[in-house]
Structures are given as C-alpha cells and as structure tokens.
C-alpha cells in the first residue's frame, strides 16, 4: 500500500505535524514511527479524533520502532511506500537542554556553538536515509533536526543504494520569514498575504533573535515586498524581528516549526513549486527562499545579491553555530571554540567527525547530556 506521509518521531514537532496533516485535504494516509509505541499510538488516535471534529477521516498508522534499526525501518518503509517522509526525530532537543542544564552551561553551549551536539541530530537521519535507499529511494525527504547543518551531510552521503538527499529542511529561516510577514502587515495595516519576505540567513540568526532580540554577530540578508513593491529600505527589519521575537520568547515554538514542516510536506505532495523558505535546501548551508516540488528544489536569489554573497552569509552563520566546515564526504569539522567547549563540559570529542563516526558519537552525547542534567537536579 502507498501512504502519503511518513512522520518519524512523535515528539513535539512530529506530533504537531501529524495533527496538522490529518486535517489537510491533500492528505489521506499517514504513518507515525516512534520508539515509544504507546506515545505514537496516542498521538495517532488524538490526531484522528481531532480531524473528525473538522469532518476529515484520515488513516493514521502508528508503529513502535527504534529508528536506529535500519533493517526494521526499511521493512516498514517497503510496506508503506510513502510519497513524502517528514523526518522529525532526534536524540536531543534544545528545549530539553534549556530546561535541564544549569543556565550558565546552556548559555555557554549557545555562545560557543549548538552544533557541538550535531551528531545527535544526524544519527537518526542517516538511518532513515539508508532505509529509504533500500526500500523507497523515490520518496521526498524533508528534515527538521538542525537542517541548516545536517542536510549538508545527508546530501553528501546520498546516492544509489544509500538513500535520497533531503529536498529541504524546515523552521529556522522559514519561521523568521513568517514573523516578518506578520509584523510588517500589522505595522502597515495590510493583509499578511500581500507581504513576501525573502531571507538568506543561518539557523544561528534565528537563535540569536530568540535569545537576545538581535542578529548578534551573525549576518543576514533580507528583502520585504508588499504587494510586489520592495519596501525593505523603508522598514527597520531588525527592529521588527526583535519585536516579534520578544512577543513569543516566553512560549514554546514547536507548533510553528511543525507548521513550517507541514507547508513543505504539502508542497511536495502537490508537486507545485510552492514558494517557502528552506533550511539546507539542496544541501546548501543556511536558509534560503525556495520553490519546492516533489523531486526538486529551486533556490532563489535575492534581488541585488548573487549566490556567492548568499553563501558567504550562510557560512558565517555556520561558523558562529560551531562548524568550521563540512567536507565533501560529509565529515564535520567543528570550530576550535565549539570543540574545546564540548570537551570541557561534556568530555566528548567532536573536533572532526566522519559520517561513520556519527552514530557512536551521538550515543556518547546522549549519555553525557543525560548525566549533566541528572547532576543538576
């Protein structure tokens, strides 16, 4: 049987995504995979009931499965043959770190590079990619965990028998674009649907705005069009982003990140070249305005900015986030500041990690974070 969407991970982003997808007319069937079978079943049933409240009956199939078991995952994928895979599972979440680590430790991680934990965000993605390569290489792959970084690795490990490269990731710059769309419309008294931001920026920019209300030391490029007219020079876009970030800083963000994912999934299902902002689209660093189809993505230029300038903007953010470079084979090279911090605080060496080293390092990071959180209680 063929299903429309496979969602991996029934955490906050994945569970919201299932809820939203179940209520969309483009979606008739969903599979949800999570290590916690009871949670997956509960989320699936809740989404079924919520969709019925809106007159929609969508088949949602939950499955208890450890995503590191590539063979079992490939068997499930072969049975479902999903058109689109929304990969939302990770071994470590930022909210968990924010809640559990001592504040000074968490702030040090943010300052020196959240990408110190990148292996923990990549390990399950590599397993999903491999399973798709064995069972459904034509599925569209869309990712959620730190895609500005991780999609570069997954694009380099993709290939015949290895699995598809992600089309794009979600959240991050797409969230920023939505914020500007809403607040510019509010300030100008126009419909938000008539406002189109175009942004090139790295995850680190969104991180800094959420943290401090500014882009910090991280560059970003932005244009805002209102009813087709470029009004960027008439608006203080940094101040508007800061105001929006302040409004939502005290509340969880996973629901809007999931909405970004749903937007990308629906674009891939419709195969219509929808406009959105992608994180790590086509294996690029950072976030970019894109058009998305089921089997391809078009990265769009900002007026007055060439591709090389955009790449340098994204790479500057990447370095601020803790990654010096990503080699052609997918090897991660951390900045000295990030690697030193991770050794000092968590006793894990992330200075240079090949794709083959990522699963073991991910387990070490998971264990080190759990120990640090337990010690802080």
* Residue-wise DSSP of 131-196: HHHHH-TTSEEEE-SSHHHHHHHHHHH-BTTTBPPPSEE-STHHHHHHHHHHHHHHHHTS-GGGEE
So what's the pLDDT on residue 216? 73
Residue 212 has pLDDT above 90, yes or no: no
pLDDT at 204: 85
Q: Please report, to the nearest 10 degrees, the dihedral formed by the alpha carbons of residues 206, 211, 214, 220 taken in order.
A: -20
pLDDT at 213: 79
pLDDT at residue 261, rounded to an integer: 98
The dihedral through the CA atoms of 193, 198, 203, 204 has a sign that is negative
Q: What is the pLDDT of residues 176-211, one digit of tens each?
A: 999 999 999 999 999 999 999 999 999 888 888 887
Decide if pLDDT at 365 tops 90. yes
Q: Which residue in the block uniquely carries the two structure tokens 């895979």?
A: 85
Give mean pLDDT, residues 19-39.
Answer: 98
Which CATH architecture group holds 5-170+254-299?
3-Layer(aba) Sandwich (3.40)
Average pLDDT over residues 219-240: 96
Question: What mean pLDDT is predicted for residues 115-144?
Answer: 97
What number of other Cβ atoms are within 10 A of residue 89's Cβ? 25
Q: What gap in Å lies between CA 239 and CA 214, rounded to an integer?
A: 8
pLDDT tens for 283-323 read 999 999 999 999 999 999 899 898 999 999 999 999 999 99
254-266: average pLDDT: 97
Contact 208, 305 (CB under 8 A): no
The 3-state DSSP class for residue 50 equals helix
pLDDT in tens, 81-119: 999 999 999 999 999 999 999 999 999 999 999 999 999
Could you tell me what percent of the chain has a pLDDT over 90?
A: 92
Confidence of residue 215 (pLDDT cuts 50, 70, 90): confident
Q: Where are the domains of the chain?
A: 5-170+254-299, 173-248, 320-376
For residues 232-236, give the mean pLDDT: 95
């Amino acid at each position: 049987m063929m299903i429309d969407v496979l969602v991996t991970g029934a955490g906050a982003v994945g569970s919201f995504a299932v809820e939203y997808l179940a209520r969309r007319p483009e979606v008739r069937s969903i599979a949800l995979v999570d290590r916690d079978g009871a949670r997956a079943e509960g989320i699936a049933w809740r989404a079924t009931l919520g969709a019925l409240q809106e007159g929609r009956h969508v088949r949602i199939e939950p499955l208890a499965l450890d995503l590191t078991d590539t063979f079992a995952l490939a068997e499930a994928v072969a049975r479902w043959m999903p058109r689109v895979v929304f990969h939302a599972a990770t071994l470590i979440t930022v909210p968990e770190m924010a809640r559990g680590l001592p504040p000074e430790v968490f702030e040090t991680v943010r300052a020196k590079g959240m990408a110190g934990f990148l292996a923990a965000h990549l390990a399950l993605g590599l397993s999903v990619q491999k399973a798709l390569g064995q069972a459904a290489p034509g599925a569209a792959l869309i990712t959620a965990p730190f895609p500005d970084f991780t999609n570069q690795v997954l694009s380099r490990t993709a290939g015949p028998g290895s699995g598809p490269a992600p089309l794009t990731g979600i959240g991050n710059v797409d969230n920023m674009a939505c914020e500007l769309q809403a607040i510019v419309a509010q300030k100008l008294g126009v419909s938000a649907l008539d406002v189109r931001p175009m942004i090139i920026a790295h995850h680190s920019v969104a991180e800094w705005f959420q943290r401090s209300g500014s882009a910090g030391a991280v560059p970003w490029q932005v244009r805002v069009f209102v009813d087709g007219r470029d009004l960027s020079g008439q608006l203080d876009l940094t101040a508007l982003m800061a105001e929006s970030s302040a409004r939502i800083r005290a509340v969880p963000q996973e629901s809007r990140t999931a909405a970004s994912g749903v937007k990308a999934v629906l674009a891939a299902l419709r195969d219509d070249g929808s406009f959105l902002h992608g994180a790590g689209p086509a294996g690029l660093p950072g976030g970019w305005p894109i058009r998305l189809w089921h089997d391809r993505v078009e990265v769009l230029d900002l007026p007055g900015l060439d591709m090389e300038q955009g790449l340098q903007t994204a790479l500057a953010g990447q370095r601020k986030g803790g990654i010096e470079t990503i080699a052609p084979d997918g090897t991660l090279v951390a900045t000295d500041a990030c690697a030193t911090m991770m050794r000092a605080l968590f006793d894990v060496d992330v200075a240079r990690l090949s794709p083959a080293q990522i699963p073991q390092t991910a387990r070490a990071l998971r264990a080190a974070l759990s120990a640090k959180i337990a010690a802080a209680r």
